[in-house]
C-alpha cells in the first residue's frame, strides 16, 4: 500500500470513528429525573452501607438469643462397668452417673445484660450508618448539580462558538476579515467541543457516584432535580456544639460501645468464679457366688479449685477493650469544638465567595456571549478580543461554580460533625428536623 493510499484509509477510519463518537454523544445515556428526597429514601433501603448495617443487627439478636439459654454447660453422662473377682468367683459391677455444671455468681443475668448492650450498640451503629449514607447522598447530589451546571455552561459556550464561526465565515465572504480569523474560530470550536465532552464526562461521573452511594441502578442514571441553593452562613458555634452533643449518632454509638464493654468486663469477672458440678450416681454391685445385687444411689458435688486459671486472659482482654472504647469516645469528643469551628469557618468563607460573585453571574453568561457575538458581527471588536473576553467570562463562571462546589463540600463536613442537617434542604422532601437551627442574617 502506498503512503497516499494508507493516508486515505487512515483518514476514512478516523472519520468513521469520529462519526460514531458523535452519534453516541448525541444519543447520550438514559436518565431519570429524581429529587433529593427520592434518592435519600432509596438509599435508606438499598445503599450498600445500609444493607451491611441491617445485616449487623442480626448479630445483636443472635447474642440475645444465645444469652437467654438457662444452662450454658451441657449435662454430662457417664458409665463404668467391670468384673468383681473374689476367691475365684466373678460378678459384674457397673455405674451410671449424670452431672450438670451450674453457675452461682449471676453469670446468666450479666450475660443477658451484656447481650442487650451489644444489641443496643448494633442499633446505634445502624443509626450512625444511616446518617453517614444520608450525608454522602446529600453531598453527591449537590456535586452532581454543580457538575451539571458546568456542563450547561460549556454547552452554551459551544453553541456560541458555532455561531461565532458562522459569523466569521460570513464576514470572510464579505471581505471584512482574513481567512486566518476563520481558522482561529474553527480551532476555538474544536476546543469548545473537547471542553463540552470533558464536562459531560464529569457530570456522568458525578451521576454514577450518586448512584453508587445511594444503591441506585446505573441504568437509567439519576438526573438530580433542582438548582443550586442560595448559600447560607453557618449558625453560631454554641448551637452547633449543643446539637452535636445531643444528636450526633456517632457520639451515641461510642457511648453505647463503652457501656457494652463495661458489661463485658463485669461478665468476665463473674466467669472467674468456680462453677460447681451437681450430679447423681447409680451403682450396682454384685456379690460373687451369691445372686444378690446391691443398688446404691448417691448425690455428688464437685467444686473446681481456681488455683491457676481464674479467667485471666478474657478478663484482661475485656479490660483492654473497655480502655479502647473509652479512648475512642474521648478522642471523638475531645476535638469536636475545633472541628466544628473549622468547618463553620470554611462554610462562611465559601458563602462569602459565592456572594462576591453576585446572583447574576451564572444566569448572565449566555447573554454576555450573545453580546460579544453581536459586537464581532458588527465589527466593533476583532475575533482575538472576542476570544479573550470569552475566556475571561468562562473562567469567572467556572470559579463561581468551584465556589459552589467547595461550599457544598464544606457544608457536608459541617453536617458530619453536627450529626444532622444544619438547614432543611431546598431539594429535600423530608420533614424538617425538630431541632432546626436559625440561620444568620447576611450582613
DSSP class per residue in 232-292: -PPPPHHHHHHHHHHH-HHHHHHHHHHHHHHHHHHHHHHHTS---EEEEEEEEEE-TTS--
| DSSP class of 358 | -
Are 415 and 421 spatial neighbours (Cβ–Cβ below 8 Å)? yes
Give the side-chain half-sphere CA count within 13 A for 222: 31
Question: Average pLDDT in the 408-430 region?
Answer: 77
Which residue in the block uniquely carries the three cell numbers 434542604? 425
Per-residue model confidence as pLDDT tens digits over 287-332? 777 777 889 999 999 998 888 888 899 999 999 999 999 999 999 8
What residues are paired with 297 via a beta bridge?
282
Strand partners of residue 77: 98
For 121-139, what is the mean pLDDT?
93
Question: pLDDT by residue (tens digit) across 1-49?
Answer: 444 443 343 333 334 343 443 443 445 688 899 999 899 999 999 999 9
Cell of 272: 472467674
Mean pLDDT rounded to a whole number for the chain: 85
- In the predicted model, is pLDDT for residue 140 greater than 90? yes
- Residues 269 and 68: their CA atoms lie apart, in Å, by 19
Q: Where are the domains of the chain?
A: 38-66+114-272+332-418
User: pLDDT digit string (tens) for 326-367?
Assistant: 999 999 888 888 999 999 999 999 999 988 887 667 677 788
pLDDT at 391 over 50: yes
3-state percent breakdown (helix, strand, coil) of the chain, nearest 5: 65, 10, 25
CATH number listed for the domain at residues 38-66+114-272+332-418: 1.20.1600.10
How confident is the model at residue 234, as a pLDDT?
Answer: 92
pTM: 0.77
* DSSP per-residue letters across 415-432: HHHHTS-SS--TT--SPP
pLDDT digits (tens, 9 = 90+) for 188-202: 999 999 999 999 999
Amino acid at each position: 500500500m502506498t503512503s497516499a493510499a494508507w493516508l486515505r484509509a487512515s483518514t476514512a477510519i478516523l472519520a468513521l470513528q469520529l462519526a460514531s463518537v458523535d452519534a453516541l454523544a448525541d444519543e447520550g445515556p438514559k436518565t431519570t429525573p429524581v429529587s433529593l428526597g427520592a434518592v435519600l429514601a432509596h438509599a435508606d433501603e438499598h445503599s450498600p452501607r445500609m444493607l451491611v448495617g441491617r445485616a449487623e443487627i442480626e448479630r445483636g439478636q443472635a447474642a440475645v438469643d444465645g444469652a437467654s439459654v438457662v444452662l450454658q454447660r451441657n449435662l454430662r453422662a457417664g458409665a463404668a462397668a467391670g468384673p468383681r473377682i473374689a476367691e475365684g468367683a466373678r460378678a459384674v459391677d457397673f455405674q451410671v452417673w449424670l452431672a450438670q455444671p451450674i453457675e452461682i455468681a449471676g453469670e446468666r443475668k450479666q450475660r443477658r445484660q451484656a447481650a442487650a448492650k451489644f444489641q443496643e450498640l448494633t442499633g446505634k451503629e445502624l443509626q450512625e450508618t444511616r446518617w453517614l449514607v444520608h450525608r454522602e447522598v446529600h453531598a453527591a447530589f449537590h456535586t452532581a448539580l454543580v457538575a451539571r451546571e458546568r456542563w450547561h455552561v460549556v454547552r452554551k459556550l459551544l453553541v456560541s462558538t458555532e455561531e461565532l464561526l458562522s459569523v466569521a465565515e460570513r464576514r470572510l465572504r464579505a471581505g471584512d476579515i482574513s481567512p486566518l480569523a476563520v481558522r482561529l474560530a474553527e480551532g476555538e470550536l474544536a476546543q469548545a467541543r473537547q471542553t463540552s465532552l470533558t464536562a459531560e464526562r464529569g457530570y456522568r461521573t458525578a451521576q454514577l457516584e450518586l448512584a453508587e452511594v445511594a444503591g441506585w441502578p446505573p441504568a437509567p442514571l439519576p438526573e438530580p432535580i433542582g438548582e443550586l441553593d442560595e448559600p447560607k452562613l453557618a449558625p453560631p458555634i454554641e448551637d452547633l456544639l449543643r446539637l452535636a452533643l445531643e444528636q450526633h449518632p456517632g457520639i451515641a454509638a461510642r457511648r453505647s460501645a463503652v457501656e457494652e464493654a463495661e458489661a463485658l468486663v463485669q461478665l468476665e469477672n463473674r466467669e472467674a468464679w468456680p462453677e460447681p458440678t451437681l450430679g447423681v450416681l447409680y451403682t450396682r454391685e454384685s456379690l460373687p457366688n451369691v445372686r444378690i445385687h446391691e443398688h446404691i444411689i448417691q448425690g455428688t458435688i464437685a467444686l473446681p479449685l481456681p488455683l491457676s486459671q481464674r479467667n485471666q486472659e478474657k478478663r484482661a482482654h475485656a479490660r483492654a477493650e473497655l480502655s479502647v472504647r473509652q479512648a475512642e469516645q474521648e478522642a471523638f469528643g475531645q476535638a469536636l469544638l475545633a472541628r466544628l469551628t473549622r468547618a463553620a469557618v470554611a462554610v462562611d468563607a465559601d458563602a462569602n465567595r459565592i456572594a462576591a460573585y453576585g446572583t447574576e453571574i451564572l444566569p448572565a453568561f449566555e447573554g454576555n456571549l450573545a453580546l460579544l457575538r453581536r459586537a464581532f458581527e458588527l465589527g466593533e471588536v476583532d475575533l482575538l478580543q472576542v476570544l479573550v473576553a470569552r475566556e475571561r467570562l468562562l473562567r469567572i463562571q467556572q470559579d463561581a461554580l468551584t465556589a459552589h462546589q467547595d461550599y457544598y463540600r464544606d457544608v457536608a463536613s459541617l453536617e458530619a460533625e453536627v450529626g444532622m442537617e444544619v438547614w432543611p434542604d431546598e431539594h429535600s422532601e423530608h420533614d424538617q428536623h425538630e431541632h432546626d437551627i436559625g440561620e444568620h442574617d447576611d450582613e
